[in-house]
Structure 1
Amino acid sequence: MSLVQLMMQSQRASSRGKVLLTGGSGFIASHILDQLVDQGFNVVVTVRSEEKGQRIVDTYQGAAKENVSYVVVEDITKEGAFDAAVKSQPPFDYVIHTASPYHLNPQDPVKDFLDPAIKGTTGILHSINAHAPTVNRVVFTSSSAAILNPKQHADVYDETHWAPMTWDEALQPTNAYRASKIYAEQAAWKFVEVEQPGFDLATINNTYTFGPLQRHLSRLEAMNASNHRIRDLVQGKMKEALQPTAPVFTFVDVRDVAFAHVRALTVPEAGGSRFYVVGGHFSNKKIADVIRDAFPQLADRLPPRDAPDDFPEKVYRFDNAKSREVLGLEYTSFEKSVRDTVQSILDSGLLGSEVRN
C-alpha cells in the first residue's frame, strides 16, 4: 500500500465520514456544519466565492478547523457546475444539498428562483451519479412550502401531502419561491426514480425556521427570512402595530433542522423518505410576549401587551411523528427558540450597544 493510500485510509478511519455540504454560507447550512464538525465528520462546503469560503473556515479553531474546507461553485445553474466539487480524495460518503435561492423582491421568477432551485438540484444529482460513486446518501433541504396548500389547508399535514402548483402559477412572482421548492423536490425524487443511482435520497421539509444567527453573519439585513420578524420586533419596527403572521403559523428551531439533516445521513431507515420537520405553532404576538418577558430591556421597543393576536381560531395541525420516531428529534420549545434567537442578535454586536445588557 502506498503512502498516499495509507494517509487516505487513516483520514477516513479518524472521521465518521466525508460530507459535501452545498450552500455553506446559508443559515441552515451553518448550523448543519457545526453539528457535522461536532460529531466528527470531515466537511467540504460549497460557496460562491473564495472570500465566503475563507470566512467560514476562519470561524473554527484547532482540530475542528482541520475538518472544514471549501470549494467554489459560482453558478449552480450551469451544466456540470458540481462536477469538480464532488470529486475528492478521500472521496465523499454523503452529500447535503441546501443551496437554494431566496430573494425578497424577485424580478424574474425563472432566473431568480426556479432555475437555481431545479437545475441546482438535478445538476448536483447528475454530478454525484457520474463522478462520486462512493456517495451513499443525499439529503436535500426542501421546505414545508412543498407540503402546504394555503388555498385549502388540510386538517392535519404530514409527509404524504404535496402542495399543488401549476407552471403558470409558478411564473407569478408571489409564488416563485414556493414553486421553486415544490419543483426542485419533485425533480429530485424523479431523478432517483428514473436514474436508479447508487445513492438514496432523503428530504427535510422544514417550516419557518427560527434560531441563533450563524457566526459569520456580517449584518442583520442578511439574516434568514424567517428570523426577520424576530429581528424587526427587537429593532422596534412593530412597536406601533404587529405585522401579519400569515401565511405560515408553524415554526421549528434551526438546531432541530440541522439535527434532522445529520441524522438523515446515517439512519438507514431514513433513505427514500420525506420528513416534515415542524416544532409547533406561533404568531408574531406570541413572539413579542416571549421577548417582553425574557428581555425587559426591550419592552419599550415592543407593541403593548394587549395588542391583538392574529393567531387563527382554527389552524391547520401537523403530524411530525415520523421525524421523531425515525430521526429521533426532540423539538426545541417555542420559548427557548425565540429567547436564544434574540440573545444571539444581542450578542452579535450588530444591533448596537444600547440594549445589549
Structure 2
Amino acid sequence: MILVTGGTGLVGAHLLLHLVEKNQNVRAIYRTKDGIEKTEALFLSYKKKELFGKIQWHLADILDVPQLEEAFIGITHVYHCAGLISFDPKDENRLRKTNIEGTANIVNFCLAKNITKLCHISSVAALGDLAEHETVVTEETEWNPEKPHSDYAISKYGAEMEIWRGQQEGLQTVIINPGVILGPGFDDQGSGLLYKRVANGLSFFTKGTTGFVAVPDVIKAATSAMNSEHSNERYIVVAENRTFQEILNSMSDALHKKHPTIEAKPWLLETIWRLDKIWSMVTGSKRNFTKYSARASYGSKIFSNEKIKADLKISFLDISTYIKSIAKA
C-alpha cells in the first residue's frame, strides 16, 4: 500500500487522483475534514467522484508520532508531499518544525518499517546558490550558507538533509524539486490565488524570472522517479523558465482580461516590503509581502531540467497551453 502525506494540497490531491486511476491501494493522512472536502472537490471537477471513495483516509499529523505509527501499518511506498509554505518571518518556528521535524518523522518511520522507497516533494527553493561564474541552477549547484535565504527555503533545505540522512541509513529515496506549480482546484493559494487576482483586474507586473511547471508534470515526475531504478537522486522539475510578466499575460489572455500595464520596479517593491513590515509590527497582522517575496519578484533564476529528461525521459506540457486549460476549467 502507498502512503501519501499532504493529500489535501494541490500536489497531493492530484497525486491521489493519479494513483487511484492506476488502481493503486492508497492511504492518505489528513488533519481536518475541510482538507478532505477540498480534495473531494478536485475529484468532482475532473468528473472522477467515483474514484474518491477508493482512498483510505487516516487522521494523522506528521508531527504526531503515535498517529503516524498507525498510518504506516501495511505501507510499502511513501510520497511525502506535506509541508508548510509561508514567507512570513513570524512563521519561522512553524516552518522549521513542520518541514524539518515533520520530514524527520517520516524518514524515521520509513527506516523503522523497512519502506521500499520514499519520494519527497521538495522545492526549487531548497536548491543551491549560483557562484559568480554560473548562470543556470542544476541539481549539483551548491547551497551557500553565507548567502541570505528565506525561512521557507532554509526549512526545505533542512528537510532534504533529513532525506539524505535516511539515504545514508539505507533508505531508498528520491527528491523532486518543482518550480512554481500551476494547477486547478485550490483557488485560495498559489497559482489559484494568482488567477483570482488576474480575473479581478491585476494592474501590476514584475519582470523577474523563475521556473514554472504544470501540476500533471509534477505528478508524472514523482511517479516516474518512484517506479524507476533510480534512487538517492534529486530532480529539478521545471517545464519553462518564464518571466512573471509573461505568465500574467498568458493568464490574462486565457481569462479575456487586460494585461497588467504597470511595472512594479525593484525600488517600489523594496519600499512596499518595508512598509508592510512596519504595518505588521504596529498592528500585529500577518505579513503580506516580505523582503524575499520582493526580491523573488524582480530577481532572475534559470533552472535546468536536463537531468530528469535524460534519466526519466520526461517531457513537459507547454505552459501557455496549460494556463488556457486551467482557465477553461
Does TM, scored on the shorter chain, surpass 0.5?
Answer: yes
**TM-aligned CA deviation for residue 332 of structure 1:** 1.0
Q: Pairwise mapping of residues 8-27 of structure 1 onto structure 2 (< 5 A)?
A: 18-27=1-10
Q: Pairwise mapping of residues 15-94 of structure 1 onto structure 2 (< 5 A)?
A: 18-53=1-36, 56=39, 59=43, 60-62=48-50, 64-74=51-61, 76-87=62-73, 91-94=74-77
Letter in 2 for 1:115: K
Is the partner of 1:249 in helix, strand or coil? strand
Structure 1 residue aligned with 2:134 = 154
Cα 1:86–1:34 change in 2 (3 A) is: same
For the residues of structure 1 that align with 2:264 and 2:326, how far apart are their CA atoms?
Answer: 21
The superposition leaves residues 155-206 of structure 1 with CA deviations (integer Å, 9 ceiling, x where unpaired) of: 122111243336x966xxxx1111111111012102321x224xx0000011
Cα 1:121–1:285 change in 2 (3 A) is: same
**TM-aligned CA deviation for residue 339 of structure 1:** 1.5
Letter in 1 for 2:305: N
For the residues of structure 1 that align with 2:196 and 2:313, how far apart are their CA atoms?
Answer: 30
Cα 1:330–1:141 change in 2 (3 A) is: same
Is the partner of 1:157 in helix, strand or coil? coil
Structure 2 residue aligned with 1:287 = 247
**TM-aligned CA deviation for residue 253 of structure 1:** 1.0
TM-score, reference length from structure 1: 0.73
Q: Does 1:165 align with 2:153?
A: no
Q: Does 1:176 align with 2:146?
A: no
Structure 2 residue aligned with 1:260 = 221
Looking at CA atoms only, which structure, 1 or 2, has the larger radius of gyration?
1
For the residues of structure 2 that align with 1:329 and 1:228, how far apart are their CA atoms?
Answer: 28
For the residues of structure 2 that align with 1:185 and 1:234, how far apart are their CA atoms?
Answer: 36
The superposition leaves residues 250-272 of structure 1 with CA deviations (integer Å, 9 ceiling, x where unpaired) of: 21111101111111111112x11
What is the root-mean-square deviation in Å for CA atoms of aligned residues? Answer: 3.0
**TM-aligned CA deviation for residue 99 of structure 1:** 0.5
The correspondence for 1:325, drawn from 281, 300, 310, is: 310
Is the partner of 2:19 in helix, strand or coil? helix
**TM-aligned CA deviation for residue 245 of structure 1:** 5.0
For the residues of structure 1 that align with 2:298 and 2:133, how far apart are their CA atoms?
Answer: 14
Name the count of aligned residue pairs: 294
Q: Pairwise mapping of residues 226-265 of structure 1 onto structure 2 (< 5 A)?
A: 226-236=191-201, 238-239=202-203, 241-242=204-205, 244-246=206-208, 248-265=209-226
Letter in 2 for 1:32: L
Q: Pairwise mapping of residues 198-213 of structure 1 onto structure 2 (< 5 A)?
A: 200-211=172-183, 213=184
Q: Does 1:97 align with 2:84?
A: no
For the residues of structure 1 that align with 2:148 and 2:64, how far apart are their CA atoms?
Answer: 25
Structure 1 residue runs of 5 or longer lacking an equivalent are: 1-17, 345-357
Cα 1:308–1:46 change in 2 (3 A) is: same
Cα 1:162–1:30 change in 2 (3 A) is: farther
The superposition leaves residues 283-330 of structure 1 with CA deviations (integer Å, 9 ceiling, x where unpaired) of: 23212332344443x23xx324xx659899995543212211222321
Q: Is the 8 A contact 1:23 1:47 kept in 2?
A: yes
For the residues of structure 1 that align with 2:218 and 2:90, how far apart are their CA atoms?
Answer: 29
For the residues of structure 2 that align with 1:206 and 1:153, how far apart are their CA atoms?
Answer: 24
Structure 2 residue aligned with 1:334 = 319
Question: Which is further off, 272-281 or 36-45?
Answer: 36-45
Q: Is the 8 A contact 1:143 1:206 kept in 2?
A: yes
For the residues of structure 1 that align with 2:236 and 2:164, how far apart are their CA atoms?
Answer: 16
Q: Does 1:303 align with 2:285?
A: no
Q: Is the 8 A contact 2:87 2:151 kept in 1?
A: no
For the residues of structure 2 that align with 1:313 and 1:179, how far apart are their CA atoms?
Answer: 21
Letter in 2 for 1:233: V
Letter in 2 for 1:303: P
For the residues of structure 1 that align with 2:207 and 2:326, how far apart are their CA atoms?
Answer: 18
Is the partner of 2:71 in helix, strand or coil? coil
Q: Is the 8 A contact 1:139 1:202 kept in 2?
A: yes
> Aligned residues: percent identity?
21
Q: Is the 8 A contact 1:23 1:29 kept in 2?
A: yes
Structure 2 residue runs of 5 or longer lacking an equivalent are: 266-295
Letter in 1 for 2:155: S
Structure with more of its chain in helix, by fraction: 2
Letter in 1 for 2:214: D
The superposition leaves residues 53-91 of structure 1 with CA deviations (integer Å, 9 ceiling, x where unpaired) of: 3664574533x24431211113x224455211111xxx2
Is the partner of 2:69 in helix, strand or coil? coil
